[in-house]
Amino acid sequence: MNPKFRPAILFGIVLVLMAPYLGFVMYYSQRFPSNQWPAWFTNTIAVWFIANFLIIMLLVKRIFRGQAVEPQKARRASTVSQIVSSYLLIVWSVLFLYGAKETMQGEIPLNRAIPAGAFLLFFMGIFGWGLYRARRGKA
């Protein structure tokens, strides 16, 4: 595979995977009244999004395997990646704690809180593991 076309191939894969997802979400979200989405719908879009995320993550590793990167660009990209990952982890942790507090107070129903919390925990784990590996590599 020509390294010149790898980003375009990645973009194509993302587009092919996300177009049905967005179509599904847009079609069904217009069928339900505001704030009245059934549990199966929210669970389906969460699982579908996570599956797409994992497929894309695995394909990126495979597509860009063995590609040489300039050390200075790699360091800069690693630093930016760590900053963004740290920011996302902080935001998601705050959202998780806020959701837990609201659930305990009875503001958010338990059947909505559990999938949302699992969704946040999944991404907190993925990004936290990546941040841990990046920081461990520097030491």
Shared-domain flag, residues 107 and 46: no
Shared-domain flag, residues 103 and 121: yes
Shared-domain flag, residues 53 and 4: yes
pLDDT of residue 1: 61
The string of pLDDT tens digits covering residues 108-136 is 988 889 988 999 999 999 889 988 988 88
Q: Domain boundary residue among 68, 92, 109?
A: 68
Q: Domain boundary residue among 47, 68, 89?
A: 68
**If you average pLDDT over residues 23-29, what whole number do you get?**
85
Which is nearest to 115 in space by CA: 96, 128, 98? 96
Confirm if 123 and 92 have CB atoms less than 8 A apart. yes
- Taking all residues of the chain, what is their mean pLDDT, rounded to a whole number? 85
pLDDT of residue 13: 86
**If you average pLDDT over residues 95-109, what whole number do you get?**
94
How many CB atoms sit inside 10 A of residue 85's CB? 19
- Domain hosting 59: range is 1-68
Shared-domain flag, residues 45 and 86: no
pLDDT of residue 75: 81
Shared-domain flag, residues 60 and 111: no
Task: List C-alpha distances in Å: 76 to 36, 67, 71, 95, 124.
Answer: 45, 17, 9, 29, 23
The string of pLDDT tens digits covering residues 55-69 is 888 888 887 777 776
Take residue 19 and report the two structure tokens written for it.
């177009």
Is the pLDDT confidence value at 95 over 90? yes
Shared-domain flag, residues 92 and 131: yes
Q: Tokens 């982890």 — which residue? A: 89
Provide the whole-model pTM: 0.69
Domain count, the chain: 2
Q: Domain boundary residue among 42, 68, 94?
A: 68
